[in-house]
Structure 1
């Protein structure tokens, strides 16, 4: 189920148990794939807070035209972007993937579109990209000149011969916009846990290509530190700069490039919660319902139920967590939930998936009736 469909199924269960109840829907995500869809899926009201879908024509990872999208929350002046919408690995069939040619420029086009809308804050979800270019394409689209040792612009893709990053013409609007990177990946740009070694093979890079990509990203790291100094950014931070900053290796080095421009790396569920005004929606509520496909130990590591529960606890509102399945051996007490319920325990997976909304509505109604007694 999408987050929107799950929220509506929960609301139907609440109203089945308590027809007089008022349900406030805030579909949630953790900044990864599905974040924009959650925001665009429709909330419980028609207020100006609700997100609008903006379609942006961009060049995909290998240069083909793609209709990417972003979510625009006009009342909050917030734009929400998924990198994968523009340069996702899913946009290219496995047999046609070429990591050395894959370029992140489409993400830069989305950022410019957000600035054109007047965004004062951009939530940018990293992950799921085909790119390993260290953000070179993104930088180019935002006005940075990516040059070889002869002073000539480099072609799209991994910047094999990069010698200069010149931010003289960097879009000045970036200085007035806050960029939050929604990402839970802590891999650095370089090294055995970096973008080339860990993520490039997942995107189709051969063993021979990995050291080539690593060498290019190593040159990019030093140049990104220079960009950070030029634009007055503290984003790359740390004694190792762009090479070792946590999260710099996300999305093939997009993390490092954006941090050098002054973006901030934050847990995805936190930035999405802020974007949708979740804390305000929880204030004054009697009960919060949240959930995910499977509730287990990983739920405690920054997943949606964990973030939602933390906000609810801060507001003194009880939380019920509903999951397609629940790991009964896991210690879920750190969630602080009033109860954790599975909606499809014992059912074959295919049947549970087919009947998901129906099962979630029934489980929600059952939980609410149990609470009343």
Structure 2
């Protein structure tokens, strides 16, 4: 049990909570938190450093929980990746609790069906979410009481058809044969059979997402996120029409906020019976961030790119609000800080690009520059 009192209590070393998101495509949240902690301790070795790596449902969600929840266990699973190749992944088993007596499973789309698994390739018509569904099935087969599902960083725009098929749904074309994986198959869809779907576990399923987009339309999955997955303008229109058809046949509302997340995986999971929730607040609750911040003297948070959109539900703005409510100073570390970014809420801010001298240098060795950022903030932020 940690009985060390921070300077807020007037005795002992300063207590520092480190709660960054992942620096996407560069370093995960847990590793980023470790590097910041090492940098801070290089200046202030007696500091009491508490790591609470954060996530909003995307890349690094499993790692964030693993680093913050004592007794959690990684459960290996081999799944079908977004390009149909085998992927070695894992889901996380959280310890039993009063509301989840058989434990809670944290399953992440990014590590099973994510865009990073494709490297530089893009498969707009063929990538799908089968692997994510297979990992969910593995957790259900284990007998967990509850699911926490992170759905950021998707490679596909399949409406979640792949994950539903893994859970027992059937999708066929006019000839009765199963449709092809991905958005390509949705164009041929004629019949949906949900009678074989696995049941949601007794404690329910929640879906962590940082977007509120609907499934279809100008703000939908294809229009907003399709280009980054490889669709051209004509492809966006075709995919949007295919998703609209899919929604009609499934019989669920494509306008539900968050249903367009992860290429429509949010839609599929909501149709299955899961609840869509903002990612950062739910992760914070499960890792007890608020209690850790309340006992801190200073908080560090961050993400890869802090810009004008970061205030809309992203991790740094959420952590800043928690710290402000507790009356604790909070500092920001980001790979880059855009000119339009609002940083007034932070006691200090550090850009890894500025520290390293260029974006390329920062990305080449993020742990080194996070260490430097931690040390810099330890010097910059006064005690008390």
> Using a 3 Å threshold, how does the CA distance of structure 1 residues 78 and 275 change in structure 2: closer, same or farther?
farther
* Number of aligned residues: 346
**Superposed CA offset, 1:141-192 (max 9, x none):** 11222233455433433333323322222212x1524322222223322223
Aligned to 1:285: 296
Aligned to 1:163: 190
Give the distance between the partners of 1:206 and 1:332, measured in 2 at CA: 35
Aligned to 2:79: 58
Alignment of 1:1-373 (within 5 A): 1-16=27-42, 18-40=44-66, 42=67, 49-75=70-96, 77-92=103-118, 97-149=122-174, 151-157=176-182, 158-172=185-199, 174-225=200-251, 241-242=253-254, 244-324=255-335, 326=337, 330-333=341-344, 335=345, 337=346, 339-342=347-350, 345=354, 347-349=356-358, 350-352=360-362, 354=365, 355-368=368-381, 370-372=382-384
> Using a 3 Å threshold, how does the CA distance of structure 1 residues 90 and 297 change in structure 2: closer, same or farther?
closer
Give the distance between the partners of 1:15 and 1:130, measured in 2 at CA: 38
The Cα of 1:73 is off from its aligned counterpart by: 2.1
Kept in 1, the 8 Å contact 2:39–2:371? The answer is no
Q: Tell me the C-alpha RMSD between the 2 structures.
A: 3.0
Give the distance between the partners of 1:272 and 1:249, measured in 2 at CA: 21
Give the distance between the partners of 1:329 and 1:147, measured in 2 at CA: 48
Aligned to 1:237: none
Kept in 2, the 8 Å contact 1:297–1:332? The answer is no
SS of match in other structure, 1:361? helix
**Superposed CA offset, 1:334-365 (max 9, x none):** x3x4x123265465125555441331232132
Name which of structure 1's ranges 257-266 and 2-11 shifts more when overlaid on structure 2: 2-11
The Cα of 1:323 is off from its aligned counterpart by: 4.0
Give the distance between the partners of 2:64 and 2:75, measured in 1 at CA: 14
The Cα of 1:326 is off from its aligned counterpart by: 4.8
TM-score (norm 2): 0.78
**Superposed CA offset, 1:73-128 (max 9, x none):** 22453332221322223333656x54333332111111112223343332322233
The Cα of 1:366 is off from its aligned counterpart by: 0.5
SS of match in other structure, 1:189? coil
> Using a 3 Å threshold, how does the CA distance of structure 1 residues 249 and 175 change in structure 2: closer, same or farther?
same
Give the distance between the partners of 1:293 and 1:117, measured in 2 at CA: 35
Q: Which has the higher contact order (CA 8 A, sep 6+)?
A: 2
Give the distance between the partners of 2:372 and 2:159, measured in 1 at CA: 44
Give the distance between the partners of 2:28 and 2:120, measured in 1 at CA: 25
Give the distance between the partners of 1:323 and 1:133, measured in 2 at CA: 32
Kept in 2, the 8 Å contact 1:31–1:125? The answer is yes
Give the distance between the partners of 1:298 and 1:317, measured in 2 at CA: 24
**Superposed CA offset, 1:205-261 (max 9, x none):** 355544443333222111232xx5xxxxxxxxxxxx22x222222222211111112
> Using a 3 Å threshold, how does the CA distance of structure 1 residues 2 and 104 change in structure 2: closer, same or farther?
closer
